[in-house]
Amino acid sequence: MEYRMTIIIPVFNEIDNLDRIFSTFTDYFSKSKTKSKVLFIDDGSTDKSFDKIVEICTDNPDFEFLKFKENCGLSAAIKAGIDHIDTQLIGYIDADLQTTPYDFDILLEDIDNYQAVIGFRGKRKDTLNKKIQSLIANSIRRGLINDGITDTGCPLKVIHTESAKRIPFFKGMHRFIPALILLQDGKIKQIKVQHFERIAGQSKFNIFNRSFKALRDTFGYRWMRRRYINYTIEKSKIGS
Say which CATH number the domain at 179 has. Answer: 3.90.550.10
DSSP E strand stretches across 93-155: 116-121
Q: Is residue 134 part of a domain?
A: no
Q: Is residue 140 part of a domain?
A: no
* Secondary structure (3-state) at 189: strand
- Write the pLDDT tens digit of every residue in 30-67: 999 999 999 999 999 999 999 999 999 999 999 999 99
Domain interval for residue 192: 5-126+154-198
Q: Is residue 232 part of a domain?
A: no
| Total number of domains in the chain | 1
Q: Is residue 115 part of a domain?
A: yes
Residue 46 is predicted with a pLDDT of 94
Q: Is residue 26 part of a domain?
A: yes
Q: Looking at 30-39, 66-75, 168-177, which range is the least confident one?
A: 168-177
Mean confidence (pLDDT) of the chain: 86
Mean pLDDT calculated for residue range 167-174: 81
Q: Looking at 23-37, 128-142, 162-176, which range is the least confident one?
A: 128-142
For residue 2, give every residue at least 6 positions away whose Cβ sits within 8 Å of its Cβ, in sequence order, or none. 35
Q: Is residue 52 part of a domain?
A: yes
Q: Is residue 145 part of a domain?
A: no
Q: What are the residues facing 189 on neighbouring strands?
A: 117
Q: Is residue 59 part of a domain?
A: yes
